[in-house]
Amino acid sequence: KLPEEHLYEGILFFGFSPPETLDAVKDFQVRDDDVFIVTYPKAGTTWLQEIVWLIMHDGDFLCAAKDPVYFRCPFLEFKDDVLHEVGLDLSNTMPSPRVIKSHLPVKLMPRQLFQNNKGKILLLFRNPKDICVSYYHFYRSSSSLGNFNGTFHEFLHMFVEGHVDHGSWFDFTRSWWSKRHEANVYILFYEDMKRDLKQCIIRLCEFLNKPLSENLVDKIVEHSSFESMNMNPMTNHLDVYSINSKISPQLRKGIVGDWKSHFTVGQNEIFDKIYEKEMGDVNIPFLYEL
């Protein structure tokens, strides 16, 4: 049986983000010291969650070793029968400083975020071709998303149409890019994190007003490498979304440019044309290879 989908303000969601939850998210009480990690799915959210949680908790590796990242950093709009406490309920009861994950576009976020610039927002972007590939494998492996068994070509079509969980990448990205100059917003790119993670973490600490020793930054860099996070059951989680890692694990390849082994020349040309039409006027400096 396929999971149920619904449209909320024109955006497609699966049952784990029901309308009541999305309504409640808009009224979510934001605290001044909240940090929101906002991404389109598959942009490297889990990677940044682990890093930011460690920064905000002065490198508490002991706690990070005991508690899965989805319990430490709630997923705001997520609710299901098994793990419903990882979303709004957990966010509401959690002590500060909270690090909260969301994949929502601007118009569905807590209203208070844009009133008096409450809380901090970290926007993590990744080039859309690699996102599409990562999302395709996620759709295949996740029973919450129906264990998609179509071809990559079919998925690519769904992706550019925005007929995937959390809707159109184009709409999400446009909506957030327009907020990039707000005082409480900070932008990161997955590809920059791959190129020089240490530098990214140092700058992030500055934005978050959390000066850490170089030694601690080095430890976070090591702890959050793809290899470490892949071997770490607290970050390579399978139970959220019921992921079948034999089909494709949550930490799959973690590279820049895997789209080249999925897109045909023709698909790439069509994608570039759609990108130009949808995003041509926006000029976001995505890197498609390193």
> Which sequence positions are flagged as catalytic?
103
Examine residue 232 and tell whether it contacts ligand PPS (CB under 6 A). no
Quote the CA–CA distance of 109 and 25 in Å, as a whole number.
7
Amino acid residing at 118: K
**Long-range own/partner contacts, residues 273-276 (CB < 8 A, 24 or more apart):** 274/160, 275/128
User: From the CB of 47, what's the least distance to ligand PPS, in Å?
Assistant: 4
Nearer of residues 208 and 243 to ligand PPS, judged by Cβ: 243
- Could you tell me the end-to-end alpha-carbon distance of the chain, in angstroms, rounded to an integer? 41
Both tokens of 181, joined, read 């100059």
Choose, by CB under 6 A, the member of 251, 259, 262, 263 that binds ligand PPS.
251
Amino acid residing at 104: L
Residues 6+ positions from 235 with CB-CB distance below 8 Å: 46, 50, 68, 69, 229, 251
User: From the CB of 281, what's the least distance to ligand PPS, in Å?
Assistant: 26
Binding mask 27-56 for ligand PPS (x = CB under 6 A): ------------x-xxxxxxx---------
Both tokens of 17, joined, read 């983000």
240 and 141 Cβ atoms separated by less than 8 Å: no
Quote the CA–CA distance of 140 and 258 in Å, as a whole number.
17
Choose, by CB under 6 A, the member of 33, 252, 278, 288 that binds ligand PPS.
252
Q: How many CB atoms neighbour CB 41 within 10 A? A: 17
Nearer of residues 196 and 276 to ligand PPS, judged by Cβ: 196
Residues 103-142 that bind ligand PPS (CB under 6 A): 130, 134, 137
Residues 151-210 that bind ligand PPS (CB under 6 A): none
Candidates 152-160, 207-215, 224-232, 262-270: pick the segment binding ligand PPS (CB under 6 A): 224-232
The site for ligand PPS, by CB under 6 A, has a size of: 20
Nearer of residues 42 and 120 to ligand PPS, judged by Cβ: 42
Name the site residues for ligand PPS (rule: CB under 6 A).
39, 41-47, 130, 134, 137, 224-226, 229, 251-254, 258
